[in-house]
Chains A and B, each alone.
Chain A
Amino acid sequence: TQLLEQSPQFLSIQEGENLTVYCNSSSVFSSLQWYRQEPGEGPVLLVTVVTGGEVKKLKRLTFQFGDARKDSSLHITAAQPGDTGLYLCAGGRAGSYQLTFGKGTKLSVIP
């Protein structure tokens, strides 16, 4: 059972466009991580958010953790072909040592 739902599953956009991907759950998480994964490689950690309502910016990427800590979003401004990849969100809970991953959003940025 996937406790984290990511949407959309697939996204194909032109270079320069903006986009937002979503990560939603009915459960509360104490932390939420976003990863980017390229084919045949391991996920690379982009950011960790831990406080409800928190917003973090990483160059053209903006991450937000929902007030209730059940959802998160990733916004990319002026997407570039190098942003292409699988974006995964993963939730952690206090007292549990595992991360629960969503299925990911596969992003293609066309030059």
Chain B
Amino acid sequence: DAGVTQSPTHLIKTRGQHVTLRCSPISGHKSVSWYQQVLGQGPQFIFQYYEKEERGRGNFPDRFSARQFPNYSSELNVNALLLGDSALYLCASSLGGTGSYNEQFFGPGTRLTVL
């Protein structure tokens, strides 16, 4: 069975540009979450989507946005890139229904470098 897939694996951008990262969840999972992990830190929550609706948002500026498609895949968009946006961006999928213990299964991540 395929796990969570993310694309691209690596990306290099310059300050001010925008970027779109993509994620496909595990088959049968309806929820996708996005996390940012900078070097030496644990992942920080950015967004969670469930059934195409935003269900949670972390403490990130409006330059960060996301959406979920009918097939439950998701995109994370970041505008006006800053040097500090350089990080590993992780996508996690989960069943997402009520009563779940929020077990999340992570993809390999997209390594974004902003120059």
Q: Does residue A111 face the partner (Cβ distance < 8 Å to B)?
A: no
User: For residue B35, which residues in chain A have a CB less than 8 angstroms away from its CB?
Assistant: 101
Choose from A31, A42, A98 the contact partner of B48 (Cβ within 8 Å).
Answer: A98
Q: Does residue A45 face the partner (Cβ distance < 8 Å to B)?
A: yes
- Given the complex of chains A and B, what is the CA–CA distance between A92 and B101 in angstroms? 7
Q: B16: shortest Cβ distance to chain A, in Å?
A: 26
- Given the complex of chains A and B, what is the CA–CA distance between A102 and B42 in angstroms? 6
Binds A, one of B62-70, B71-79, B104-112: B104-112
- Given the complex of chains A and B, what is the CA–CA distance between A2 and B42 in angstroms? 9
Q: Does residue A33 face the partner (Cβ distance < 8 Å to B)?
A: yes
- Given the complex of chains A and B, what is the CA–CA distance between A48 and B31 in angstroms? 18
Q: Restricting to B87-115, which residues have a CB under 8 Å from any CB of A?
A: 88, 90, 92, 96, 101-109, 111
Q: Restricting to B2-52, which residues have a CB under 8 Å from any CB of A?
A: 4, 31, 33, 35, 40-45, 48, 50
Please encode chain A, from 33 to 71, with 1 for each CB lying within 8 Å of some chain B CB and 0 for all others: 101000011111100101000000000000000000000
Interface size on A, residues (CB 8 A): 26
Given known pairs A42-B90, A43-B90, the reply for A101 and B103 (CB within 8 Å) is: no
User: For residue A88, which residues in chain B have a CB less than 8 angstroms away from its CB?
Assistant: 42-43
Q: Does residue A84 face the partner (Cβ distance < 8 Å to B)?
A: no
Q: Is the CB of A98 within 8 A of B42?
A: no
- Given the complex of chains A and B, what is the CA–CA distance between A104 and B37 in angstroms? 12
Q: A59: shortest Cβ distance to chain B, in Å?
A: 19
- Chain A residues within 8 Å of B, Cβ to Cβ: 2, 4, 30-31, 33, 35, 40-45, 48, 50, 88, 90, 92, 96-104
A31-B103, A42-B106, A92-B101 known, 19 other contacts, Cβ within 8 Å: A33-B102, A33-B103, A35-B106, A40-B111, A41-B108, A41-B109, A42-B109, A44-B106, A45-B103, A45-B106, A50-B101, A88-B42, A97-B31, A97-B48, A97-B56, A98-B45, A98-B56, A101-B35, A102-B42
